[in-house]
Structure 1
């Protein structure tokens, strides 16, 4: 019980001292005030807008490329390409034909 009372008295004492000493602080230790005109913020916003415009122009091309339809291959044409253990599709075979994974041609 005495420990609790000592903690309460100590916290009240420290609170009062903090309140009293707050007015005694020197202006040297305070942070400088912000300028009236946020010039750095405007420059940053313009630079960010330029980056976003460049990114939009690059993203538009890649989206158009991905949204395109795979071209059709005739019978006997090359329909795929082997990249090591993987096979990449070059075109889609016509209806009724399939891409042979050994010869990589439509049959």
Structure 2
């Protein structure tokens, strides 16, 4: 998670730095590039698809952490395991349905 965040911050910083430096270059030193010219052996379309895949994967990871932070606890049916024992403490896995409760001895909804 932290490596994804660092990569995003680095890419944003590099793009801002690049855009600032573009204004400092003289027009005769600028490179003329064709839109379909391959960069590092990849076309612009392939690079865009790779970036989109990376961003989709990063969004799916971020979505899971947001759900945990929002304290969204899933519902569990009667008889399913609703808690887990961590030494002297009991951690909740899910919330029992209405009319049932989590038995702290069996750690199941009854």
TM over 0.5: same fold? no
TM-score by length of 2: 0.42
TM-score by length of 1: 0.43
The higher radius of gyration belongs to 1
